[in-house]
């Protein structure tokens, strides 16, 4: 496992963990709490209504983290924006310009090759991690020069991959010596330690951060995660056109049958003639919520600091385990 690229901020991490970037969930409060607690805080730039608001978010987070560092006497973990690099992102160039001004230490790219943004981000001093859902995507991102790969495996929330994490990590590690981040099913500190043993440098934790006081998620969403288990996660293409992990109870609450969903990508895409009727339709992410297989590990709604402390204790216990033979 290669860790030298992370060496510059390893002493600022309470855990080798990224609070995963989640659409309409990861905001200023969650970033400040995660980074201040020693976890890399990541948020989609698309969570900001405009490039101007993205600039404002950066300024506020940076100011509050400096204040936290002064009080705590230690540097916070890095802030890590998540940039969609697909041509469908009309704000790509403008958002990239904001990132280059604020010089984040890490950037995660999504939905496509990071090739077009690698040089400017590298020139600004950022490590670039590309999320990938297949071996071929991993090979292409590695060839482009990504510093790290986020492996979207079976069990991750939102739009996800289908590969088994054991097989995916080992296949990628066979040809790639950069940073590997495992996304999918990390529900506690022991699982995080297992990801390291498997060959990863960092893990993603998303679902459990949804159910924190600081997340932007609806309180009903947080409670639904507490009340649900992995059996309540449905992998479907109905809402985005891509394989997406969604909470069955939210689908039912929206008046839909999880066992009889419309065709691929049909929900919330075809327009209604009646504007008022269209507005009342259930919308993905806003009314129909996502979760990963780690939903089974969500037992209560916590503050981020408490979640990180609990995860760190589990991680230490997992690290102390030794294989038993005989």
What residues have CB less than 8 Å from 280, skipping those under 6 apart? Answer: none
What is the residue extent of each domain of the chain?
A: 4-216+299-320, 219-280
Structure tokens belonging to residue 128: 């670039």
| Positive/negative CA dihedral, 202, 152, 130, 29 | negative
The segments of the chain whose pLDDT lies below 70 read 1-4, 264-285, 321-326
Structure tokens belonging to residue 176: 């790639």
| Number of alpha carbons in the 13 Å side-chain half-sphere of residue 53 | 10
Structure tokens belonging to residue 1: 């496992």
What residues have CB less than 8 Å from 270, skipping those under 6 apart? Answer: none
- The pLDDT of residue 210 is 98
Structure tokens belonging to residue 142: 């590695």
Smallest CA-to-CA distance from 318 within 209, 194, 177, 150 is with 194
Ramachandran angles phi, psi of 10, nearest 5°: -60, -35
Place of tokens 């990541």: 42
CB 201 within 8 A of CB 176: no
Structure tokens belonging to residue 211: 């159910």
Q: Residue 29 burial by CB count (10 A; 0-12/13-18/19+): exposed, middle or buried?
A: middle
What residues have CB less than 8 Å from 175, skipping those under 6 apart? Answer: 139, 142
CB 148 within 8 A of CB 129: yes
- The pLDDT of residue 228 is 97
CB 242 within 8 A of CB 267: no
Task: Give the residues across from 79 on adjacent strands.
Answer: 41
Helix (H, G, I), strand (E, B) or coil at 258: coil
- The pLDDT of residue 262 is 77
The CA-based dihedral angle spanning residues 207, 208, 210, 213, taken in that order and rounded to the nearest 10 degrees: 180
Distance CA 127, CA 211 (A): 28
Q: Print the SS3 string covering 158-205.
A: EECCCCCHHHHHHHHHCCCCCEEEEECCCCCHHHHHHHHHHCCCEEEE
Contacts of 120-124 spanning 24+ positions with Cβ under 8 A: 120/96, 121/96, 124/99, 124/100
- The pLDDT of residue 243 is 87
| Number of alpha carbons in the 13 Å side-chain half-sphere of residue 65 | 26
Architecture of domain 4-216+299-320: Alpha-Beta Barrel (3.20)
Distance CA 115, CA 299 (A): 40
Distance CA 97, CA 82 (A): 14
Place of tokens 């990504």: 146
């Amino acid at each position: 496992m290669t860790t030298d690229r992370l060496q510059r901020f390893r002493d600022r991490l309470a855990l080798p963990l990224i609070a995963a970037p989640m659409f309409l969930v990861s905001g200023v409060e969650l970033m400040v709490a995660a980074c201040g607690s020693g976890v890399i805080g990541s948020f989609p730039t698309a969570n900001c209504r405009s490039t101007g608001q993205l600039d404002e978010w950066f300024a506020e987070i940076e100011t509050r983290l400096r204040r936290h560092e002064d009080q705590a006497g230690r540097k916070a973990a890095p802030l890590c924006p998540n940039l969609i690099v697909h041509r469908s992102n009309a704000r790509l160039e403008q958002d990239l310009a904001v990132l280059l001004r604020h010089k984040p230490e890490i950037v995660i790219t999504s939905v496509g090759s990071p090739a077009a943004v690698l040089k400017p981000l590298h020139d600004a001093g950022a490590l670039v991690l590309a999320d990938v859902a297949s071996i071929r995507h991993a090979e292409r991102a590695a060839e482009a020069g990504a510093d790290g790969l986020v492996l979207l495996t079976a069990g991750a929330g939102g739009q996800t991959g289908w590969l088994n994490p054991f097989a995916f990590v080992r296949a990628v590690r066979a040809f790639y010596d950069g940073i590997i981040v495992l996304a999918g099913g990390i529900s506690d500190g022991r699982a995080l330690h297992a990801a390291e043993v498997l060959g990863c440098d960092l893990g993603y934790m998303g679902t459990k951060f949804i159910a924190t006081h600081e997340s932007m998620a609806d309180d009903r969403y947080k409670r639904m995660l507490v009340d649900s288990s992995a059996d309540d996660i449905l992998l479907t293409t109905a809402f985005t056109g891509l394989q997406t992990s969604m909470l069955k109870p939210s689908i039912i609450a929206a008046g839909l049958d999880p066992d009889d969903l419309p065709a691929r990508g049909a929900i919330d895409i075809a327009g209604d003639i009646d504007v008022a009727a269209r507005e009342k339709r259930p919308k993905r992410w806003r009314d129909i919520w996502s979760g990963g297989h780690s939903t089974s590990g969500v037992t209560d709604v916590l503050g981020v600091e408490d979640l990180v402390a609990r995860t760190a204790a589990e991680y230490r216990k997992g690290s102390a385990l030794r294989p038993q033979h005989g």
